[in-house]
Copies of this chain bind each other. A is one copy, B any other.
Amino acid sequence: MAKYNPVTPELLEELKKVVGEANVKTDAETLDRFKTDEETDPRLMHLPEVVVWVNSTEEVAAVMKLANQFVVPVTPRSAGTSVSDGAIPVLGGIVLNMEKMNKIIEINEDAMYAVAEAGARTIDIQMAAKAKGLLYAGDPCSAESCLIGGNIATNAGGNKAVRYGTTRHQVYSVEVVTPTGEITTLGSRLKKCSTGYCLEQLVMGSEGTLGIICKATLKLLPLPPHKVDIAAVYDDLDKAVTLVPNLVKAGLEPTSVEFMDSNFLKSSCEYSEIKLPHCDEGVCYLIVSMETFNEDEVDAKMEKLAEICEESGAIDVLEADERVWTVRKNCLESTRSLSKIAQSDDLVVPVDQIANCIKRLTEEAKKYDFTMFCLAHAGDGNLHFQHMKGDMSDEAWEQQQHAFHETAYSYVYSLGGRISGEHGIGAKKVYAMEKYTDPVELAMMKAIKKALDPLDILNPGKVMNVY
């Protein structure tokens, strides 16, 4: 591990010169507030030595220059909605808070793009685009609280990735500060480019280890005015998952295909006090959304969709009204009463391997004492298993979680999958990242990190351990 210096009064003075006294905080309450993100396990939290709020890209660059000069680690922080310990300053030092850089600078209707600072809320960008009849297609489930910079850093996924791709597909260019404190813009507002290395895609998804995203130019799309939502009910998982390729092949371009297993369906129906059809029959639900530009197409598409669902063996096809979506949204909440402590997986496999993966890992989970439910963004192969501790002892819970994940991760890699579809590695999965990543690939990642951040100043201890 790289050797860092402690944050000294001299460094604090220099930081205050850059961002102003009010934006440099070392009081206990502030430090305590920034020791975690969505992490709830105190053993994984870590106090920063100072929290710095920045107001401009130039300030970010100046802070990074100081951090290199004083050899102090910097953890950039967006909204702190990471569930992978991505915003925890695991090695202390400076937490760099981006939340004040929150301006939406431009929504350009004609050329269909938006420019926003890293601290702009994702939902505000969505709404600003919508007000001009356009769509910003990045849509993480935490869109109401998360910030665009964090979305880009983690390559956030969400509900619309089947049709539109993940966050990295919504971005033309990013203004970044490099680990050594230089400012540059990577990428450009182009549909085609063969001019040098594609650094924007390298920095996006690097979880703030290769550069701090300060500003982004985002793609906007035409907003389809019409929507079709159905829920298909299956008593056979294999049949359910044939739906996705069949929809795609029919050219229906679903916007989302969400899977709820029978456990989630039952618990969330009870929690929501909504009795959806078949909810006690051990069935699973696939909720399919489609969008269209032409009102005339709505009925035809609905019909085609229902036809494909029936052909794939759905025992029932319903219109997915507000009640269905309420049950879907309450899934996680509904498990709180079942277990105070829970852990969520974020596995991703090729779409045609979802059924295999759900079946195999559901079977595997039966060997253990925890309870496991499954939700999936089925259209893109992204599985969230919810593990519930119930009344297990701490020791058994940890040991069994570890044992399950050893099996699950090996299996997922054997299918061509990966251990994070949309939440990132953060600090939480560094061990698994180093264990399961191909050694040549991992060595390339480390070589690049070292080349761009020789002192390992920027977000050390995330994604992998360089030293």
Among B196, B210, B417, contact of A197 (Cβ-Cβ < 8 Å): B210
Q: How far is the CB of A122 from chain B (nearest CB, A)?
A: 16
Q: Is A224 an interface residue (CB 8 A)?
A: yes
Q: By the criterion CB–CB under 8 Å, are B420 and A248 in contact? A: no
The answer to whether B189 touches A350 (Cβ under 8 A) is yes
- Given A192-B381, A248-B112, A381-B190 in contact, is the A448-B445 Cβ separation under 8 Å? no
Whole-angstrom CA separation of A424 from B192 in the bound complex: 11
Report A357-384 CB contacts with B as 1/0, cut-off 8 Å. Answer: 0000000000000000000010111100
Nearest Cβ distance between residue A389 and chain B, in whole angstroms?
A: 25
Q: Which residues of B contact A197 (CB under 8 A)?
A: 202, 205-206, 210, 445, 448, 463
Beta-carbon contact of A193 and B251 below 8 Å:
no
Interface string of A380-419 (1 = CB under 8 A from B): 1110000000000000000000000000000000001111
Whether A193 touches B420, Cβ cut-off 8 Å, given contacts A184-B441, A198-B168, A245-B112, is yes
Is A199 a contact of B444 with CB atoms below 8 Å? yes
A225 to B111, CA, bound (A): 30
A422 in contact with B191 (CB, 8 Å)? no
- Would A380 and B245 be within 8 Å (CB), given that A168-B198, A196-B463, A199-B441 are in contact? no
In the complex, what's the smallest C-beta–C-beta distance from A349 to chain B, in angstroms? 7
Stoichiometry, copies per complex: 2
Interchain nearest-CB distance for A328 vs B (Å)? 18
Name the segment of A94-102, A153-161, A307-315 touching the other chain.
A153-161
Give the distance in Å from the alpha carbon of A448 to the alpha carbon of B179 in the complex: 14
Given contacts A178-B440, A444-B452, contact A196 B350 (CB under 8 A): no
A352 within 8 A of B: yes
A130 to B: closest C-beta gap in Å: 14
Cα distance A256–B146 in the bound complex, in angstroms:
36
Interface status of A15 (Cβ within 8 A of chain B): no
**Is A182 touching B440 in the complex (CB atoms < 8 A)?**
yes
Asked if A193 contacts B418 (CB within 8 A), the reply is yes
A464 within 8 A of B: yes
The answer to whether A440 touches B184 (Cβ under 8 A) is: yes
A192 and B377 contact, CB distance less than 8 A = yes
In whole angstroms, how far apart are the Cα atoms of A419 and B194 in the complex? 8
Q: How far is the CA of A191 from the CA of B349 in the complex (A)?
A: 9
A188 contacts the other chain (CB 8 A): yes
The answer to whether B195 and A418 have CB atoms under 8 Å apart is: yes
Q: Name which residue of chain B comes closest to A155, CB basis.
A: B194
Contact present for B201 and A440 (CB under 8 Å)? no
A166 at the interface (CB under 8 A from B): yes
Given A222-B248, A245-B110, A425-B194, A188:B440 Cβ within 8 A: no
Q: Does A91 contact B (CB under 8 A)?
A: no
Segment 202-240 of A: residues with Cβ below 8 Å from B: 202, 204-207, 210, 222, 224
- A421 CB within 8 Å of chain B: yes
A467 at the interface (CB under 8 A from B): no
Scoring A residues 433 to 464 as 1 if CB is less than 8 Å from chain B, else 0, what string do you get?
Answer: 10001101111110110111000000000011
A193 to B424, CA, bound (A): 8
- A433 and B195 contact, Cβ closer than 8 Å, known pairs A111-B351, A186-B441: yes
Q: Does any Cβ of B come within 8 Å of A77's Cβ? A: no
Q: List 6 A-B contacts (CB under 8 A).
A: A166-B193, A191-B381, A192-B381, A192-B382, A251-B293, A450-B451
Residues of A with Cβ closer than 8 Å to B?
A: 110-112, 154-157, 161-162, 165-166, 168, 178, 182-186, 188-199, 201-202, 204-207, 210, 222, 224, 245, 248-251, 293-294, 296, 300, 346, 348-352, 377, 379-382, 416-425, 433, 437-438, 440-445, 447-448, 450-452, 463-464
